[in-house]
Structure 1
Amino acid sequence: MWLNEHEQALRRDLQGLASDLRWSAVELLRIAEQLRLTGNDVDAEAVKRLCDLFQGDEQRLSGYAEEVKAKIISRNKAV
């Protein structure tokens, strides 16, 4: 089944946001490692917790994008 233009835009937005979160988590993990190497374990652990949140949100957004593709979530007009 084809997606209408509004559903396609929604799916692209969800995928784009998920991708942004994924790359943000990658960068934050790099920063966390640098913090750990400088002996700042407390801040490194806090940054890693943020990464975990971002990764969970990324997975949720990717799931929503798949639901749009499967027509479980639909949009008839752009908001």
Structure 2
Amino acid sequence: MPLTKPNQQLRRDLKDAAFALEEAALDIFSKAQGCKEAEFLVAMEKVSKMHEQADRLKAYADEVKAERIVRTKV
């Protein structure tokens, strides 16, 4: 059964948010490469957390596609 419009939008929003987080993580990584080691390590910790959150959002998007998460009308 195809996804409803609200669920399609929810999935799209989750994937877009994950992509934005991944792009921001890449920007932080690029800027941190010129930093001293201690600052670089702090930045890499933030990048790692951003990637974890992006992965979680993509997993939620997959659950929406599988209809385990649905947006209902209120």
> Scaled by the length of structure 2, what TM-score is found?
0.93
**Residue 67 of structure 1 aligns to which amino acid in structure 2?**
E
Name the counterpart of 1:25. 25
Gaps of 5+ in 1: none
Name the counterpart of 2:7. 7
| Residue 41, structure 1, aligned to residue 37, structure 2 | yes
> Scaled by the length of structure 1, what TM-score is found?
0.87
Alpha-carbon displacement from aligned partner over 1:4-45 (angstroms, at most 9, x marks no partner):
11101110110000000111111111111111xxxx211111
State the 1:76 CA deviation: 1.6
Where does structure 1 differ by over 4 angstroms across 4 or more consecutive aligned residues? none
User: Structure 2: how far apart are the matches of 1:69 and 1:53?
Assistant: 25
User: Structure 1: how far apart are the matches of 2:71 and 2:30?
Assistant: 37
User: C-alpha root-mean-square deviation of aligned residues, in Å?
Assistant: 1.2
Name the counterpart of 2:68. 72
State the 1:77 CA deviation: 3.1
User: Structure 1: how far apart are the matches of 2:12 and 2:31?
Assistant: 29
> Contact 1:4 / 1:76 at 8 angstroms: preserved in 2?
no
